[in-house]
Amino acid sequence: MVRFLVRSVVSTIITILLVSIGLFVLIEVGSGDISVKILGVFSTPEQRASYRAQLGLNAPTWQRYLDWLVGNDWRAKSRMTYPLITLKNPKTKEVEWWADVDGQATRWKMDKGELKRLVRKEDGFSKVMPAESDWIKGEGTEEFFWGVDNRNNAVKFVKGSGEEVWVLTKAGLRKQGDGPREYIPLRKGLIRGDAGLSWQYNRPVSMILKPRVRNTLVLAGVAFVVVMPLALFFGILAGINEGKLLDRIISITSLGATSTPEFVTGIFLILIFGIWLKVLPAVTMFTSSNAIFENPMMLALPVMTLTAVELGYVARMTRASMVEVMDSAYIRTAIVKGMPYWRVVFRHAIRNALMAPITIIMLHVNWLIGGVVVVEVIFGYPGLGKFIFDSAIFGDFSAIEAAAMVTVLIAIITRLIGDLAYTLLNPRVRYA
Amino acid sequence: MEIIKRKDRKDAHPYIPELKELYQKGRVTRREFLRNATLLGMSAAAAYAFISPFAPKKAMAAAMPKRGGTWKCGMSLQLIDHPARLSWTEGANVVRQVSEYLSDTGPDNITRPWLCEKWVASEDLKTWDLYIRKGVKFNDGQVMTADDVIFTMNEWLNKDVGSSMLGLLSYWGGPQNIEKVDDYHIRLHLVSPNIGVPEHLWHYPGVILPRNFEGDFIKQPVGTGPFILEEFAEGERAVLKARKDYWKMGEDGQPLPYLDKVMYISMSADAGLAAFQSGQTDVHYHPRPSDYLALKDNPMAKILTVDSSYCYPIRMRVDLPPWDDNRVRTALKLCQDRKKTLQLAAYGLGKLAIDAHISPAHPAYCEKPIPAYNPKKAKELLQAYASEKGLKLPLKVKLATKNDEAEPEIAQTLKQTALAGGFDIKLDITEAGGYWDRWTEVDLGITSWTHRSIATMVLPLAYTKESIGAWNETRWYDDEFSALLKDAEAQLDVEKRRSIMCKLEDIMQERGPIALSYWVQIMEIVNKRVHGMEAHPTHMHTTLRSTWLDG
């Protein structure tokens, strides 16, 4: 068992790495110039180039992948005069990079050709101090300095040669003189728990992703708890009544529900219960961040939609499996030897009949987590599927990668649970 | 006019008596009179009293406003930081409930004083006196004085803040031209005369901030407005709570607002439609034409509309053949069946247009007959052009546009109606981003242009020599047109301004670069229980302070 678990963990890590590389390549090939998406189509090539430099997109592909995976602060550290530290912003709770100058958190900027220190105060704001003495002599007459700017980049300033840079503000792009020559957008890397910055929202991915994952887990969890017992129950019922009226009714209904796409089911449910009868909330309106707990009724229609789609799959799979088992010799033997029918079904048939549905169920957990985009869009549900979709459209690299890591992790955990369930149901299956 | 004369004060603008005379002679319309008189400092009440001195005071509302309730609206929400940097309507809709402007441009397009009690312009329009309303408190208890207003103006004019007010107010000449006369009186010394000051003070980034504002509205949502920001989560929701000590009183003698809470919830357009239909939200924000169809017969929906200068000109690049020849341009203009286009693209909601980017919603618009659909004449013109160039009819051209608004319908209609005129139009319709990538480059295209309250704000953007390389997508300019436009910008006299507009419209119709079928009607679809809301040409929610819910 221990060996089995170790093997699972190792294969999980390899799978995650492969998925992340695969996604990285796809994004690299598939999405266009990200700076156009961020800056808008009216930006000029010069502005885009400046912005790409600030995002660190000029680095080679492999380096950007490594930066994302293991971070790049060690790379910046070797160039900087002062050690790097991370601090939490007291208001936004976002992690910020600073340099430690004799115990004082410091950043730098160049203003009218002069280097200035921004020394952090208690409240998270900073005061400006002169820092002309920080310049370091380089080759020839060049004087330079590697510091941290106020957008979490390690930057290289060159004395007397400030770059004209384009900075993105809410009022659009603005040109600033005295910019740095080189940028390293600082990050710790995924393996040290930093999922990077979302380009689309300009906030750390982990902060945006968390509520999405929670919402999705709640929806998927409720749907799972509703669908699976129902599906197994109807599947078994149909299976042991093969060919009878009850079987026909269950089979036809579940086939109908499953073959209707979820956007049709969803819209009909909205029309009937939300707009016509007005008994259930038509869409999930998050009037507060905990709205799903305050008003759980708004989950009713999305769960009903997912139930309609899911029920049929699992029920039909269970039915088929049940029919097969009920046909087998040992069941016939048990019945013939006079064992009570219900005991045959519960003690002997079900355990064997559940093997196949469990595979399906576990695969569908994953679909419930990341693949219910359509349901999320119809009901306006802020979940993970929609997040992945939007990020992919935008080409938001860190966001897609992080979200994909979550789904891969869930896929692997459910596979593990599925495997364990097999061993419980069928003692012949043992993992060495 | 005895009553009015008594109301005239010596500080009123000297042009006002003349304006009154023009109005009495019927040479300026009622609306133009109101608009210009209020801009020059006449109070809206006095202006309205002047145009209808014997009319009863506004008919009593059928019902007294009720208090309480939560007003909900589905609308997308993006990041907000410094209000002076606002660049989108949705953000302004949230901020404007908490903070307020010096002036207030109503749904009737008339600008009234708001946080300013009144303003007085000098005769040459270069000195403006702004009198700040007394007794207005910010929601943190501070009293608003000229210091707060001057602090805010400095933020607008500060390059580091990056406000779009900076460009708009370039004629202010910088912060040194703002003079504090006393605690409630500010004098602006403009570099060049401008009648638009009150209107510009209502530009949506222009809310008045407290003097200790540090730059992030979400962290410091302090304003004089009727609501307090309770929660703002970008991409999710904004929750606003009524404030108890707002300075303006409601009809029941108690402070506004009537509503307890205002909630904006971020959702997609389709989910928003379902939420509205089920009664979960009270307003369907920014309805698409298909939403209008879905909701127009819904017994619980009330449709509010207002005319605007939002439009979809079919624009032709005059530096490329065949559009460099005015006969071809005129032929295409003649090929528009405007009524049909309006019907097919906007279900008949809107106003028919002439081929000039000057709208009846603009003041001093000069009324012109709507040109008829005339494919026969178009064909004659095209025939002449074609035989000269050795081409054969039909003339093959490609029309590019985007698909996120009414453009595909306009393009399809034109394709049909222009066939008889000798054009064979191939359509090249892409998603919005695809068109915005090349909107200034395509030779024939349909571009959407947003509402601007005056014609002299839009014409210099797209139809002058200086704007080539920026927003002049057609490369068209005309010396006579440009000279007239300069005159119009500096012209105070409404009648003279209109006569200039007449000429500008004639030039654009005769040799201009655009064909235009209709002006969009801005629509707001609200639940019947919502009262006191009005549609605004800018799509802004400007009247929530006096909105109330019945049931």
Q: Is the pLDDT at B59 greater than 50, yes or no? A: no
CB A298 within 8 A of CB A310: no
B377 or B212, which is more confident: B377
Give the pLDDT of residue B145.
Answer: 92
Give the pLDDT of residue B149.
Answer: 92
CB B30 within 8 A of CB B55: no
**CA gap B19, B51 in Å, rounded:** 11
- Burial level of B56, CB count in 10 A (0-12/13-18/19+)? exposed
Q: Is the pLDDT at B94 greater than 80, yes or no? A: yes
Find the residue in B nearest to A90 (Cα).
B219
Average pLDDT over chain A reads: 83
pLDDT tier for residue A431 given thresholds of 50, 70 and 90? low
Give the pLDDT of residue B3.
Answer: 36
Nearest to A235 by CA among A217, A221, A226, A247: A247
Give the pLDDT of residue B8.
Answer: 41
Residue whose pair of structure tokens reads 């869409």 in the numeric block:
A283
The least confident of A243-252, A354-363, B27-36, B237-246 is B27-36
Phi, psi of B227 (to 5 degrees): -125, 160
For A188-202, write each residue's pLDDT tens digit. 888 888 888 888 777
- Interface contact B281-A285, CB threshold 8 A: yes
Give the pLDDT of residue B12.
Answer: 60
Give the pLDDT of residue B55.
Answer: 44
- Interface contact A287-B164, CB threshold 8 A: no
Residue whose pair of structure tokens reads 């979490």 in the numeric block:
A152
Q: Is the pLDDT at B63 greater than 70, yes or no? A: no
Residue B271 forms contact with A (CB below 8 Å): yes
The DSSP H or E segment spanning A131 is none
Q: Is the pLDDT at A105 greater than 60, yes or no? A: yes
Residue B163 forms contact with A (CB below 8 Å): yes
Q: Which residues of A touch B82 (CB under 8 A)?
A: 170
Domain extents for chain B?
2-51, 100-220, 309-521
- Interface contact B436-A278, CB threshold 8 A: no
Give the pLDDT of residue A169.
Answer: 58
Supply the ipTM of this predicted assembly: 0.71
10 Å Cβ neighbour count for A399?
A: 25
Give the pLDDT of residue B56.
Answer: 41
**CA gap A327, A245 in Å, rounded:** 19
- Interface contact A283-B234, CB threshold 8 A: no
A37 or A73, which is more confident: A73
Give the pLDDT of residue B52.
Answer: 63
Cis peptide before B394 (omega within 30 of 0): yes
| Chain A: closest CA distance from residue B237 (Å) | 7
Residue of B263, B277, B278 to mutate for A, most A C-beta atoms under 10 A:
B278
Q: Is the pLDDT at B6 greater than 50, yes or no? A: no
Average pLDDT over chain B reads: 85
Q: Is the pLDDT at B47 greater than 90, yes or no? A: no
Could you tell me the domains of chain A?
70-194 (no CATH), 206-425 (1.10.3720.10)
For A55-72, write each residue's pLDDT tens digit. 888 888 888 888 888 888
Residue of B231, B267, B295, B437 to mutate for A, most A C-beta atoms under 10 A:
B267
Option in B81, B265, B268 nearest A377 (CB): B268
Q: Which residues from A are below 8 Å from B when comparing CB atoms?
A: 41-42, 91, 169-172, 174, 201-202, 208, 270, 274-275, 278, 281-283, 285-289, 377-380, 382
Average pLDDT for B82-107: 86
| Chain A: closest CA distance from residue B436 (Å) | 6
Q: Is the pLDDT at B198 greater than 90, yes or no? A: no
A379 or B194, which is more confident: A379
Option in A201, A274, A380 nearest B268 (CB): A380
CATH architecture assignment, domain B100-220 = Alpha-Beta Complex (3.90)
Residue B162 forms contact with A (CB below 8 Å): yes
What is the tally of helices (H) and strands (E) in chain B? 18, 21
Please tell me which of A368-377, B2-11, B266-275, B346-355 the model is most confident about, judged by mean pLDDT. Answer: B346-355
Please tell me which of A255-264, B155-164, B247-256, B498-507 the model is most confident about, judged by mean pLDDT. Answer: B498-507
**CA gap A180, A162 in Å, rounded:** 6
Residues contacting B172, CB < 8 A, separation 6+: B157, B178, B188, B190, B191
Sheet holding B185-189, edge to edge: B116-121, B127-132, B185-189, B178-182
Please, what's the b/e burial string for B500-538 (b: 16 or more CB within 10 A of its CB; e: otherwise)? bbbbbbbbbbeebbbbbbbbbbbbbbbbebbbbbbbbbb
Structural tokens at position B463: 């139809």
**CA gap A226, B285 in Å, rounded:** 35
CATH architecture assignment, domain B309-521 = Roll (3.10)
Q: Is the pLDDT at B391 greater than 60, yes or no? A: yes
Q: Is the pLDDT at A351 greater than 80, yes or no? A: yes
Average pLDDT for B124-145: 89
Domains B100-220 and B309-521 share a fold: no
